[in-house]
Amino acid sequence: MHEGTSVDYPDFAHQVAKKLEAGEADRGLLVCGTGVGMAMAANRHPRIRAVNCSDTFTARNARGHNDANVLTLGERVVGVGLATDILDVFLATAFEGGRHERRVAKIEC
């Protein structure tokens, strides 16, 4: 826990991304002030599809349509209750596959 201590958020984003790349986890969760920096850093890694969500609709579609595997949240943007709801939806939603598979494959360069 780093409450009140300034940290370099990319260090944490890279750690989570590397765990997913190594097969040590299927999904990751990253939190910073807005969630934006975490998403940007995590998305630098191959096969990482990090999404910054501030609502459950986006979380559901990010998983269902884009097979997002990292959720980023902004602790200055969403409250604890909403963050919990977003995380629950993100974890409970399966990738739909089908027509979305072709599109997800095009994300990888």
Which amino acid makes up residue 31?
V
Q: Which residues pair with 28 in a beta bridge?
A: 70
Active site residue 32: yes
Catalytic one of 14, 45, 65, 100: 65
C-alpha 85/C-alpha 49 separation (Å) is 20
Active site residue 65: yes
Report yes or no: 66 and 72 within 8 Å, Cβ to Cβ: no
Structure tokens at 63: 């998983």
Q: b/e per residue, 71-83, with b = 16+ CB within 10 A?
A: bbbbeeebeeeeb
Question: Which residues are catalytically annotated?
Answer: 32, 65
